[in-house]
Amino acid sequence: MKGKYLKGRAITYDGSQLRSLWALREHGLQGNSIIAFRGPCSVSGEALVDQLDAKAGKEIRSDDMVHFIVELFDSDLPRAVVLRRLLVFIIKEVIEEIKPEIFVERKGNDLFIEVEEPGIDYRKLSVSIATVSPVSTLIHVGVNVSSENTPVPTFGLADLDVPVEEFVLKALQKFITEIKEMDLERAKVRGVP
């Protein structure tokens, strides 16, 4: 598992990055990889992978997010779905390590912060999806930096006073370490009758 943080380059996530060999073609990472970058998010219509969201006419929009794109060549969709949840859990863990006074709630594949506001119980912190390509499985997790101009009530890392670069580097390292350790676990056991 290789990783890269595209620091200092604003890239708009529009769904086109969620395609096979994007990490190799655009950023020189061959094989299993995770790439993080920061930039706006604008995904709607045919670009939405989640067909229930597409059918409902939903959109994913944010002025500023941290995006994680994972590509795996030794995985099927069920494993990618589980690894997406692992990445989301790692993101929760990193935020709570940096800011122990903050409790982030994971509901399924997304993260929320509970609030006491009229008509609002939670503000959403993340979006995520896992899918397949002809040669790999792909994961996108986006974490709001800004809570401005989002289609649902959100919080961002800036609202929580979480330093973006520290957050990104810790999340990348923890995910890479988890994948490497899981690969080693598979290679140390014998089969049983």
> Where exactly are the structural domains of the chain?
2-183
Give the burial class of 169: count Cβ atoms within 10 A of its Cβ; 0-12 exposed, 13-18 middle, 19 or more buried: middle
Give the integer Cα–Cα distance in Å for 112 and 53. Answer: 19
Residues in the chain where the model's pLDDT stays below 50: none
Strand partners, 65: 39, 144
pLDDT confidence of residue 61? 87
CATH architecture of 2-183: 2-Layer Sandwich (3.30)
Taking the CB of residue 125, how many other CB atoms lie within 10 A of it?
26
CA separation, residue 98 to residues 15, 35, 137, 153 (Å): 29, 21, 30, 23
pLDDT confidence of residue 58? 76
pTM of the model: 0.94
